[in-house]
């Protein structure tokens, strides 16, 4: 599936963001997946999201999935992503 199709499907499903977190296993991985997909649809696509993009994605997911609790600081998200082998700039 193309990244733009994946992003559109995420938005179109009422529970898309909640399912993303459930399937990813945690917020940091879900945020990385969302940030990476967005990076791939830019005019000049990239494969590795920045920590700012991952943090923004985590805030979006938390808001749209109505997650309880606060979004971890960006350095915590970066550490969690890197611990799972996900590259972050």
Distances (CA, A) of 62 to 20, 27, 40, 45, 57: 11, 8, 22, 25, 9
Predicted local confidence at residue 68, as pLDDT: 85
Residue with tokens 């898309």: 16
- Count of the separate structural domains present in the chain: 1
pTM of the full structure: 0.94
Q: Would residue 88 count as lying in a domain?
A: no
Q: Residue 52 is part of which domain span?
A: 3-83
Predicted local confidence at residue 84, as pLDDT: 96
Q: What is the mean pLDDT of each run of 10 residues along the chain (89 residues)?
A: 92 94 96 97 93 97 91 96 96
């Amino acid at each position: 599936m193309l990244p733009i199709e994946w992003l559109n499907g995420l938005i179109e499903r009422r529970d898309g963001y909640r399912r993303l977190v459930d399937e990813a296993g945690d917020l940091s991985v879900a945020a990385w997946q969302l940030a990476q997909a967005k990076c791939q649809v830019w005019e000049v696509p990239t494969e590795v999201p920045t920590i700012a993009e991952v943090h923004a994605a985590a805030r979006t997911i938390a808001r749209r999935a109505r997650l309880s609790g606060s979004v971890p600081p960006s350095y915590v998200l970066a550490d969690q992503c890197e611990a799972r082998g996900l590259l972050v700039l």
